[in-house]
């Protein structure tokens, strides 16, 4: 079934085309009808039709402008243009824009149906050819990964291999990821290869969104690889970008496909020929998936650090614990300690002596550092706590003492913070509420206004409020957009501009995800 959209500013023509033609009978589904190019693009963004029938002469955005935008969004879409003007310049422009065909009004229904069938036939041939190419390309990719896991290469050889796959690496830094689908059975109607192919396509789109150069390469069965290139990034920025992308991979797959993946990464290298080392390290890290767990991303460095780490070192949670205490978050303190205790109870590897030493170390840190954040806290109430911990015999007892002192200090800090009218996060939120309409508003610019680093402010958002900067900015903009749609007759692009979006298509997509309605649908709710 091929999806069709109609865009025409003439209401009679819209109604006639949509109602007279028996779409389903001819193998088509009418997914949307728009009155101008702007509405047409929103329909295309939402439904991605195979064929678009559009008038050329329309207000706001004419058919030629819309065709150009459609081809940029999806070059495969067939556009059939209609006009009442027998003018060669329109036909010439339509050809330049790669419109499928150009018909003069009034259009005979039979003529249009025939043209639709021709377009759908071509789409079928193109899809068949694309599938053949993809199957061949997937096989080439699989063979490349096999060679990469077994052989050594020089720069020129790797460059040649990448060229076969259509990959042109940029920059000096590179790294490999290895991905395994955690679920391999999807029911009788769904094959794992089809699901994997869709996941790989989504991963490629995520790389584009993050503006990170890379490529997704098919491996056998439930696996695939991702090669990432630094493109003149520093190693620190490249590492950060890899972390962001892998988190988005995990989140998107779980949300969009209702399944999970595990991602492992090799080290970062600065020579193209070393990509095989990074790839092999990612493969090696995947061998520890059964220990680390599924639906996670971890590196070879993490695996090696765990393997060589002393058991007592695994108990080091002081940094996170003290951060919660210093922010005045007793609930987070209790949650952290409870999770750590339960983890220790589930393992047989840690001795009582090691847990006692851990308890003494944590309590000593709290007593030592407390004066820096809470000078008036009564530390004398806990002067014998370390001696008590040394004599304790169970994990429950030791963690109970840690919890008492940690929560007491966190509660004290919380009361201190409560006496302040505005926290840094509150000030940041106020600034967002006043400046959400600024297109380039970012975490960095807001952090500068409240005189802290962006990393520190980001952490404050998560710890103090339980959500991040992006969530606040998105919610603020979407609520204002909803208000504008309800109270005004502004066009979608006008609302987008007023709430800080320079790209109307991106705004429409964000609005749809937030509200569940496209801007056009939301306007109709008034």
Examine the domain organization and report whether 405 and 502 are in the same domain: no
CATH number at residue 440: 1.10.10.60
Examine the domain organization and report whether 304 and 316 are in the same domain: no
What letter would DSSP give residue 466?
A: S
Examine the domain organization and report whether 397 and 434 are in the same domain: no
Alpha-carbon distance of 523 to 509, in angstroms, equals 15
Alpha-carbon distance of 227 to 159, in angstroms, equals 13
pLDDT of residue 104: 78
Domain count, the chain: 4
Q: Domain ends where: 418, 444, 473?
A: 418
Residue for token pair 């705004």: 507
- 325 contact partners, CB below 8 Å, separation of at least 6: 333, 366, 373, 406, 409, 410, 413
Alpha-carbon distance of 216 to 200, in angstroms, equals 6
In a domain, residue 142? The reply is no
Examine the domain organization and report whether 162 and 244 are in the same domain: yes
Examine the domain organization and report whether 47 and 178 are in the same domain: no
163 burial level (CB within 10 Å; 0-12, 13-18, 19+) = exposed
In a domain, residue 144? The reply is no
| Beta-bridge partners for 83 | 104
Token couple for 416: 């201190």
In a domain, residue 371? The reply is yes
pLDDT of residue 438: 92
Examine the domain organization and report whether 234 and 188 are in the same domain: yes
Can you give the pTM of this predicted structure? 0.40
pLDDT of residue 189: 65
pLDDT of residue 478: 94
216 burial level (CB within 10 Å; 0-12, 13-18, 19+) = buried
Per-10-residue mean pLDDT, the chain, length 526: 90 87 90 89 91 85 86 88 68 69 81 89 81 60 72 74 74 89 78 87 92 86 90 88 95 93 93 86 80 82 58 60 82 90 70 74 78 78 80 81 91 73 75 91 87 78 81 92 90 93 92 90 81
CA angle 40, 44, 45 (to 5 degrees): 115
Alpha-carbon distance of 76 to 71, in angstroms, equals 7
In a domain, residue 136? The reply is no
CATH number at residue 104: 3.40.50.2300
Long-range Cβ pairs for the range 57-66 (8 Å, 24+): 57/9, 57/83, 57/84, 57/85, 58/7, 58/8, 58/9, 59/9, 60/36, 60/491, 61/36, 61/37, 62/37, 63/7, 63/37, 64/90, 64/93, 64/94, 64/97, 65/37, 66/7, 66/37, 66/40, 66/41
- Would you say 87 and 64 are in contact if contact means Cβ atoms under 8 Å apart? no
What's the start-to-end Cα distance of the chain, in Å?
A: 33
Alpha-carbon distance of 6 to 19, in angstroms, equals 11
In a domain, residue 435? The reply is yes
Token couple for 393: 């015999």
Residue 391's CB: how many other CB atoms inside 10 A? 8
| Four-point Cα dihedral 90, 95, 99, 101, nearest 10 | 80
Examine the domain organization and report whether 155 and 266 are in the same domain: yes
- Would you say 58 and 36 are in contact if contact means Cβ atoms under 8 Å apart? yes
- 106 contact partners, CB below 8 Å, separation of at least 6: 84
Q: Domain ends where: 288, 308, 328?
A: 308
| Residue among 439, 513, 445 nearest 475 (CA) | 513
Examine the domain organization and report whether 411 and 490 are in the same domain: no
Buried b (16+ CB within 10 A) or exposed e, 83-97: beeeeeebbebbeeb
Extended strands (E) in 139-260: 174-181, 214-218, 223-229
Residue 246's CB: how many other CB atoms inside 10 A? 24
pLDDT of residue 388: 83
- Would you say 51 and 120 are in contact if contact means Cβ atoms under 8 Å apart? yes
φ/ψ of residue 85, rounded to 5: -110, 115
Examine the domain organization and report whether 246 and 336 are in the same domain: no
Examine the domain organization and report whether 160 and 238 are in the same domain: yes
pLDDT of residue 312: 43
Q: Domain ends where: 308, 330, 347?
A: 308
pLDDT of residue 170: 72
In a domain, residue 138? The reply is no
CATH number at residue 227: 3.30.70.270
φ/ψ of residue 313, rounded to 5: -65, -25
Domain membership of residue 359 as a residue range? 312-418
Give yes or no for a cis peptide into 87 (omega within 30° of 0).
no
- Would you say 81 and 101 are in contact if contact means Cβ atoms under 8 Å apart? yes
- 169 contact partners, CB below 8 Å, separation of at least 6: 159, 162, 213, 227, 229, 272
Token couple for 47: 């439904």
Alpha-carbon distance of 172 to 237, in angstroms, equals 13
In a domain, residue 146? The reply is no
**SS3 state of residue 373:** helix
pLDDT of residue 328: 80
Long-range Cβ pairs for the range 510-518 (8 Å, 24+): 510/474, 510/477, 510/478, 511/478, 511/481, 512/46, 514/474, 514/475, 514/478, 515/478, 515/482, 518/42, 518/45, 518/46
- Would you say 119 and 78 are in contact if contact means Cβ atoms under 8 Å apart? yes
Alpha-carbon distance of 458 to 372, in angstroms, equals 23
Examine the domain organization and report whether 104 and 17 are in the same domain: yes
In a domain, residue 60? The reply is yes
Examine the domain organization and report whether 156 and 293 are in the same domain: yes
């Amino acid at each position: 079934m091929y999806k069709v959209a109609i865009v025409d500013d003439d209401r009679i023509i819209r109604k006639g085309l949509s109602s007279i033609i028996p779409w389903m009978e001819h193998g088509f589904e009418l997914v949307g009808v728009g009155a101008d190019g702007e509405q047409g693009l929103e329909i295309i963004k939402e439904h991605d039709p195979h064929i678009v029938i559009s008038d050329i002469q329309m207000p706001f955005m004419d058919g030629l402008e819309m065709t150009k935008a459609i081809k940029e969004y999806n070059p495969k879409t067939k556009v059939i243009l209609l006009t009442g003007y027998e003018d060669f310049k329109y036909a010439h422009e339509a050809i330049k824009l790669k419109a499928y065909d150009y018909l003069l009004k009034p259009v005979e229904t039979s003529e249009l149906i025939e043209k639709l069938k021709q377009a759908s036939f071509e789409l079928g041939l193109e899809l068949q050819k694309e599938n053949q190419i993809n199957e061949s390309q997937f096989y080439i990719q699989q063979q490349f990964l096999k060679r990469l896991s077994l052989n050594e290469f020089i720069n020129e050889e790797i460059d040649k291999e990448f060229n076969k796959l259509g990959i042109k690496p940029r920059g000096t830094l590179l790294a490999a990821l290895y991905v395994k689908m955690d679920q391999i059975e999807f029911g009788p109607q769904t094959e794992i290869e089809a699901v994997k192919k869709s996941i790989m396509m989504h991963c490629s789109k995520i790389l584009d969104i993050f503006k990170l150069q890379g490529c997704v390469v098919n491996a056998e069965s439930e696996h695939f690889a991702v090669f990432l290139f630094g493109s003149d990034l520093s190693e620190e920025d490249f590492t950060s970008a890899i972390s962001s992308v892998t988190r988005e991979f995990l989140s998107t797959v779980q949300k969009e496909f209702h399944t999970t993946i595990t991602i492992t990464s090799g080290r970062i290298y600065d020579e193209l020929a070393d990509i095989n080392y990074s790839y092999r390290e990612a493969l090696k890290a995947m061998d520890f998936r059964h220990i680390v767990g599924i639906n996670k991303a971890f590196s070879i460095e993490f695996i090696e650090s765990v393997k060589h780490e002393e058991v007592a070192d695994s108990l080091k949670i002081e940094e996170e614990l003290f951060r919660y205490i210093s922010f005045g978050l007793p609930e987070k303190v209790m949650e952290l300690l409870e999770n750590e205790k339960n983890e220790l109870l589930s393992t047989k590897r840690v001795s009582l002596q090691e847990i006692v030493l851990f308890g003494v170390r944590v309590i000593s840190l709290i007593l030592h550092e407390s004066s820096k954040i809470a000078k008036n806290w009564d530390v004398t109430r806990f002067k014998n706590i370390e001696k008590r911990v040394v004599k304790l015999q169970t994990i429950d007892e030791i963690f109970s003492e840690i919890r008492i002192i940690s929560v007491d200090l966190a509660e004290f800090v919380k009361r201190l913070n409560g006496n302040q009218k505005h926290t840094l996060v509150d000030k940041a939120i106020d600034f967002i509420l006043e400046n959400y309409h600024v297109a380039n508003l970012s975490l960095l610019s807001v952090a500068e206004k409240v005189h802290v680093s962006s990393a520190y402010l980001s952490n404050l958002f998560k710890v103090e409020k339980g959500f991040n900067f992006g969530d606040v900015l998105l919610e603020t903009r979407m609520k204002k957009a909803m208000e504008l749609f309800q109270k005004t007759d502004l066009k979608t692009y006008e609302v987008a501009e007023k709430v800080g979006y320079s790209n109307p298509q991106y705004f429409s997509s964000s609005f749809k995800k937030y509200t569940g309605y496209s801007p056009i649908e939301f306007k109709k709710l008034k």
